[in-house]
């Protein structure tokens, strides 16, 4: 509760209360929403925060089924009612499709979301890790306010020509970057695979194997080198690097403590020089860290297309 109260003091606090994605979740289904709901009830400060959450991942996916995703209208409506109830609010500011349902045309999912907008239950619609084609099709039905996607010095997939970054910029859609500090690996606190906590999802990632740690640490050292000129941390420089990629990029680092939250927020005041940005990008491009960042069944849920509506 202290962390939530501290976070609410910032000018534009964006709170993502999403249910667990199922990769070794450390919280129960909906716990984050219930906790924030208790804070809202206790403080009455609903209007001071911008609430976001997601729907679409079912408990089947949490147990390892990549097809355990639902984007059908019935599930859209059921999910928002549960989220609003847990949060104790009438309206969600931003409602994301957490994973694209490959069985349901995105137009069908979007129309169900548009109904929620008309009913006043959500204000804006977002998509998480859609394919560029899916994003375009969704945006034709109703403006998509934001996409949420992994974007960090370790993961630059969306920068490829014609990928999501180009598409979002063309359509005027904000890019909300999750795990922007490389899941904490640029902090310098983790030096080998054994340092990762038990039940940490990074233990399942081939990208973060012991064999890759020398390259990971070399990249972290480059960020630390730049951070020393700004009296900052490597993680803060990682956030500053993403912010330097354009005004449409909105990093959302996780924070477990007030100190960590403050560190993340202060990164907004770090202005990297063009030379520093170029130097960091050169180091990233020269650092080869092979392997997927997720187990295969999770990777299968990323950047999905959906069937054409006429084919159903």
β-bridge partners, 14: 50
pLDDT of res. 21: 47
Nearest to 20 by CA among 35, 38, 9: 35
- Determine the Cα–Cα distance for residues 65 and 35; give it in Å rounded to an integer: 28
> Residues 55, 97: contact at Cβ < 8 Å?
yes
DSSP conformation class of 20: P
pLDDT of the residue at 267:
94
257 Cα distance to chain centroid: 19
Instruction: With beta carbons less than 8 A apart as the criterion, state whether 308 and 36 touch.
Output: no
pLDDT in the model for residue 190 = 82
Length of the chain: 312
Greatest Cα pair distance, the chain, in angstroms, is: 58
Half-sphere exposure of 274 (CA within 13 A, CB side): 0
Task: List the chain pLDDT tens, one digit each, 312 residues.
Answer: 777 877 777 666 888 887 554 444 444 567 889 999 999 999 999 998 999 999 998 888 877 888 889 999 999 999 999 999 999 999 999 999 999 999 999 999 999 999 999 999 999 999 999 999 999 999 999 999 999 999 999 999 999 999 999 999 999 999 999 999 988 888 777 888 788 888 777 888 888 888 888 999 999 999 999 999 999 999 999 999 999 999 999 999 988 788 888 899 999 999 999 999 999 999 999 998 888 888 888 889 999 999 998 765
Q: Where are the alpha helices (DSSP H) in 99-185?
A: 106-118, 132-141, 164-171
Q: Is 188 left (phi over 0), alpha (psi -120 to 50) or beta?
A: left
For residue 272, what are its two tokens?
């990297």
Dihedral sign of CA atoms 264, 265, 266, 268 in order: positive
Q: Helix crossing, 213-228 with 274-286: angle to 10°?
A: 170
pLDDT at 198: 80
Q: Which domains, ranges and CATH numbers included, belong to the chain? A: 2-311 (3.20.20.100)
Distances (CA, A) of 251 to 73, 139, 257, 294: 30, 22, 18, 20
How much is the pLDDT for 236?
A: 96
| pLDDT at residue 206 in the model | 83
Query: Can you tell me the distance from the alpha carbon of 165 to that of 156, in angstroms, rounded to the nearest whole number?
Result: 10
pLDDT at 25: 46
Confidence (pTM) = 0.92
Give the other-Cβ count within 10 Å of 45's Cβ.
14
Instruction: For residues 222 and 253, give the distance between their C-alpha atoms in angstroms, rounded to a whole number.
Output: 20
In whole angstroms, how far apart are CA 160 and each of 157, 165, 206, 233?
A: 6, 8, 22, 28
Could you tell me if 104 and 72 are in contact, meaning their C-beta atoms sit under 8 angstroms apart? yes
CA 301/CA 278 separation, integer angstroms = 32
Round to whole Å and give the CA distance between 79 and 116. Answer: 11
CB-CB neighbours of 240 under 10 Å: 24
CB 146 within 8 A of CB 124: yes
């Amino acid at each position: 509760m202290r962390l939530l109260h501290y976070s609410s003091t910032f000018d534009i606090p964006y709170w993502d209360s999403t249910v667990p994605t199922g990769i070794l979740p450390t919280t129960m289904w909906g716990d984050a929403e219930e906790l924030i709901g208790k804070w809202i009830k206790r403080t009455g400060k609903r209007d001071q925060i911008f609430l976001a959450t997601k729907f679409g991942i079912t408990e089947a996916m949490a147990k390892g089924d990549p097809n355990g995703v639902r984007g059908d209208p019935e599930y859209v409506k059921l999910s928002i009612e549960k989220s609003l109830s847990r949060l104790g609010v009438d309206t969600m500011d931003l409602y994301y499709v957490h994973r694209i349902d490959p069985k349901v045309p995105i137009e069908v999912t979007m129309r169900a979301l548009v109904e929620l907008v008309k009913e006043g239950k959500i204000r804006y619609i977002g998509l998480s890790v859609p394919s560029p084609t899916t994003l375009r099709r969704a945006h034709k039905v109703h403006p998509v306010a934001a996409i949420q996607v992994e974007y960090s010095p370790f993961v630059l997939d969306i920068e490829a020509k014609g990928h999501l970054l180009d598409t979002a910029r063309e359509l005027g859609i904000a890019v909300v970057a999750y795990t922007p500090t490389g899941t904490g690996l640029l902090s310098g606190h983790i030096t080998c695979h054994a340092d990762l906590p038990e039940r940490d999802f990074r233990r399942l990632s081939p990208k973060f194997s012991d064999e890759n740690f020398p390259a990971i640490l070399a990249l972290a050292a480059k960020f630390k080198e730049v951070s020393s000129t700004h009296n900052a941390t490597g993680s803060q420089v990682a956030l500053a690097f993403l912010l330097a990629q354009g005004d449409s990029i909105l990093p959302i680092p996780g924070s477990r403590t007030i100190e960590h939250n403050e560190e993340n927020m202060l990164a907004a005041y770090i202005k990297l020089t063009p030379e520093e940005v170029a130097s960091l990008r050169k180091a990233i491009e020269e650092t080869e860290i092979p392997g997927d960042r997720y187990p295969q069944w999770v990777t299968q849920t990323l950047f999905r297309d959906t069937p054409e509506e006429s084919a159903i």
